[in-house]
Structures are given as structure tokens and as C-alpha cells.
Amino acid sequence: MKIGELAERTGVAPRLIRYYEQQGLVTTDREDNGYRAYTEAHVERVTRVASLVRAGIPTRLVRVLLDTEDAATRGEPTCPRNVAEQLAAELVPIEDRIACLTRSRDAIRSYLKRSHHEVLLQQQRVPSTASAG
């Protein structure tokens, strides 16, 4: 398949797919005419990369995670010490982002309640603070 079809199937823009390739997160062969040739495996890979990036994981760490997953598929050791250290170091900024988002969510909810527009919370299907953990 060509990049346009891959983009449509994954919901990831062609430009972003090319960026993933530049970062070494996705690899592909070229056809004789120079076009990239993608397979079903690329659909899964691009979807996986995009979900990790949307989760806030930097591409340098996405590569480490994918390499670890690939090693597991090959039956190799999957989490050497340096990978574990990188993952542990990444937890601090992730926790900070979660805390910031939680404060923002709570501030918006509070404002809506005080402005008597609480009904909008149900219309937006915003989870309650109690279910946020």
C-alpha cells in the first residue's frame, strides 16, 4: 500500500509517517519506482507509534520501547538496565503532566459548577473526579 492509504487506515498524516521514518520508528522498503511500500505490519506499527506519542512519550523513548518490544518478539532480553533507567527517568515528567492536567480539569469543573453550567459536564461525558482515582 502507499503512504496515503496507510495514513487513512491509521489516522496519521503522511507527513507524520515520514517523520516517524526519519526518526527510525518505522522502516519500509522502496519499490522500483521509488515509492514506499507499506504492509499490514506497518499499519500496526504506525498505530502503536502514534498512540505512544499521543500519550506524551517523546520519540527518543518511543524508539527505546519499540526496540524493547521487538527484542521480546525475537525472544531476546527485553529490559536491560539502561532501558529501565530511561523508563524510570521518564516517569517524573509524565507524572507532572498528569498532575497539571488533573488541576486543569478540576479548575474547569469548578468554574462550570460555580457558573451554574454544570449540566455541560454531563453533555461532554467528562468523568467525575471520584472516578479519576
**Per-residue pLDDT tens digits for 26-75:** 998 888 888 889 999 999 999 999 999 998 888 888 988 888 888 888 88
Query: How do residues 62-95 score in pLDDT, each as one tens digit?
Result: 988 888 888 888 887 777 788 788 888 888 888 9
Contact present, 71 and 32 (Cβ < 8 Å): no
What's the predicted TM-score (pTM) here?
0.65
- Alpha helices, DSSP H, located in 11-58: 14-22, 40-54
Domains of the chain: 1-78 (1.10.1660.10), 82-133 (no CATH)
Closest CA to 112 of 129, 130, 96: 129
Contact 59, 25 (CB under 8 A): yes
C-alpha distances out from residue 47 to 3, 32, 129, Å: 13, 26, 30
